[in-house]
């Protein structure tokens, strides 16, 4: 097993999207009590402060140590660019009350304020990655990665980066299997983290599937598109 693979995060993460305040506090304490050790947040979730409060309570009480938990946060589209990305990571560290973040991702390949097809998306995300590389070198983040990147976005990044992405977090489930992307990530030693959240409200598949039904699911995957579609970002 490679060094990168042995450093893989805990396989099941507790996602904090849409959770705030006391609801998040209670949910996080419960999640950590039952064994979750990977917490996923993001600057655009606007809940890093609460995550930090819960972590400090758990660590301060002796129930956990910092090394017991793996924290992921993400750079928002409005924070793309070198200076903006540096400021965003430092802000996340302050809100989370941590000396380092285990994994920091570029949340989306596009830039806030630009159309998805605008070629101007490319340069800011390259500068964002340079900032993340530097912050990793400074010990502010342990691993750096991306989210919602397609094969094309990864190819562009690998051509220019000094540090390859550790992980790509994407939507992936039976209705959106991401086969080409999975193969590409495997070939380039990039972990693929599956985020099924955007499908759960409409995902009603009986537990037993026939061969015909499996073929229908595969056909759905071939034509699956979201309104928030990273394939449209140059």
Binding region: 107
Residues contacting residue 138 through CB under 8 Å, at least 6 positions apart: none
Q: Which residues are annotated as a binding site for substrate?
A: 107
Tell me the CB-side half-sphere exposure of residue 70, using CA atoms within 13 A.
16
Of the residues 36, 45, 104, 149, only one is catalytic, namely 45
Taking alpha carbons only, the member of 143, 63, 135 closest to residue 102 is 143
List residues bridging with 105 in a β-sheet.
74, 145
Q: Does residue 38 contact residue 72 with C-beta atoms inside 8 Å? A: yes
- How far apart CA 218 and CA 196 sit, in angstroms, is 16
Task: Kindly tell me the sign of the dihedral angle through the C-alpha atoms of 182, 183, 188, 191.
Answer: positive
Vertex 94 angle, CA 90 and 99, to 5°: 80
In the block, residue with structure tokens 């309570």: 57
- Tell me whether residue 45 is one of the annotated catalytic residues: yes
Residues contacting residue 232 through CB under 8 Å, at least 6 positions apart: 116, 117
Residues marked as catalytic: 45
């Amino acid at each position: 097993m490679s060094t990168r693979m042995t450093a893989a995060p805990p396989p099941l993460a507790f996602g904090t999207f849409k959770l705030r305040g006391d609801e998040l506090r209670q949910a996080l304490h419960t999640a950590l009590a039952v064994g979750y050790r990977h917490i996923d947040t993001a600057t655009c979730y606007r809940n890093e402060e609460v995550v930090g409060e819960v972590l400090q309570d758990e660590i301060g009480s002796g129930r956990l140590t910092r090394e017991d938990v793996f924290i992921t946060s993400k750079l928002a589209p409005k924070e793309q660019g070198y200076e903006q990305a540096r400021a965003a990571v430092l802000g996340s560290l302050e809100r989370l009350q941590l000396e380092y973040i285990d994994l920091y991702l570029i949340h989306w390949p596009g830039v806030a304020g630009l159309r998805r097809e605008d070629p101007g998306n490319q340069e800011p995300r390259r500068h964002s990655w340079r900032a993340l590389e530097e912050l990793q070198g400074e010990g502010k983040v342990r691993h750096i990665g991306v989210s919602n990147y397609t094969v094309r976005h990864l190819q562009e990044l690998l051509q220019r980066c000094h540090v390859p992405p550790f992980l790509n977090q994407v939507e992936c489930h039976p209705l959106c299997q991401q086969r080409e992307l999975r193969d590409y990530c495997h070939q380039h030693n990039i972990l693929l983290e599956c985020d099924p959240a955007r499908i759960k409200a409409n995902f009603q598949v009986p537990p037993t599937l026939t061969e015909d039904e499996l073929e229908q699911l595969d056909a759905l995957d071939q034509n699956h598109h979201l309104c928030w579609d990273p394939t449209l970002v140059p």
